[in-house]
Amino acid sequence: MKAYLFGVTPVEEAFLKEWQDQHPDDEISYTHSPLTADNLELAKGFEAVSTQQAEPLTASDLEPLAAGGVKHLALRKVGADNIDLEAAAKYGITVANVPAYSPRAIAENGLTGAMYLLRKWGYYHRKMRRGDFTRPTELMSDEIFNQTVGIVGLGRIGAAAAEMYHALGARVIGYDPVYNASLEPFLDFVDFETLIKESDIVQVHIPLTPENKGMFSTNEFAKMKDDAILVNQSRGELVDTAALIVALKYHEIGGAALDVLEGEEKIFGRKFEDVGSLPDEYTELINLPNVVMSPHSAYYTKMAVKNMFFQSMTDIERTLSGKKAFFKVN
């Protein structure tokens, strides 16, 4: 097969070498840069393209890819909302993602952020940096088995999160439009309204759709407990950032663990020498003591990255040999 890989990281280079050792006849080229209108010519003459990026790929990007011979686009990630899937289908390009590379990687990261905030580590760390090693009453925390944890979205990742919290002794409730009886041993199914009102920790694991954009905003924060923790590792656009900042500042909720943010494609993956050039909302969130953030790295474990890489390459191989991709999304 002939494939061109965009946005290859140093970690992925090792997995690429492993793949090529196992498939010596494959013709594979790559770049560290994401796929953009400025470099799509690199893929000319290749049958497939693989990329992992938040930057959008529109019809004007996909048409020349197809004209250059690309038949398959393999995403080394779950989300495909940055791809114009209708245009891809129109130009004869199949698109596949990797939805099940390691659900536990993301679920564990969410649990870590929730526990960090629950046990007030951010507050203690700031105090200790100033030489204050006391334990004030307002920083007394609680234990996870006394918490009600609400999981929004009960796919592979949400299900893994529910099992983890259940194993730690928490009361777990969940909301998902699709009922899954196999999760009954780990949680109670409730409606969304009940979940946000009763949960001490709300952990979000749903895909972004036009219908659920901004589903956590002023109205929802007002209904949540004033010490509730919001954990978002799905898509930044599920949360109204401005409303979240207000809720955090005025103690309408207790804290937020965020691996994703609105407009992150312009920020995450870059290094800023002048932090003053960051958008105001990023600066505000970073400086709040009841917030912990990471740059869309919940998935970033050795196992997950390898699985994403190998699954995407397998789907390229299947598609170009006339078989159906395991994880076709258009």
Does the active-site annotation cover 135? no
Report strand pairing: 148-152 vs 94-96.
Answer: unpaired
CA distances from 259 to 7, 212, 239, 296, 302 (A): 20, 18, 12, 5, 18
Does the active-site annotation cover 264? yes
CA 7/CA 88 separation, integer angstroms? 20
Does the active-site annotation cover 156? no
Helices (DSSP H) in the chain: which residue ranges? Answer: 10-22, 59-67, 85-90, 103-118, 121-129, 156-167, 192-198, 218-223, 241-249, 280-287, 302-320
CA 145/CA 14 separation, integer angstroms? 41
What sign does the dihedral 198-202-205-209 (CA atoms) show? positive
Choose, from 235, 252, 262, 317, the residue flagged as catalytic.
Answer: 235
CA 186/CA 25 separation, integer angstroms? 47
Report strand pairing: 27-30 vs 48-51.
Answer: unpaired
Q: Which amino acid is at 221?
A: F
CA 27/CA 52 separation, integer angstroms? 19
Computed on alpha carbons and rounded to an integer, the radius of gyration of the chain in Å comes to 21
**Encoding tokens for residue 263?**
């407009």
Choose, from 156, 237, 296, 317, the residue flagged as catalytic.
Answer: 296
> Residues 162-177, buried b or exposed e (16+ Cβ, 10 A)?
bbbbbeeebbbbbbbe
Choose, from 12, 220, 262, 264, the residue flagged as catalytic.
Answer: 264
Q: Which amino acid is at 317?
A: E
Active-site positions read 235, 264, 296
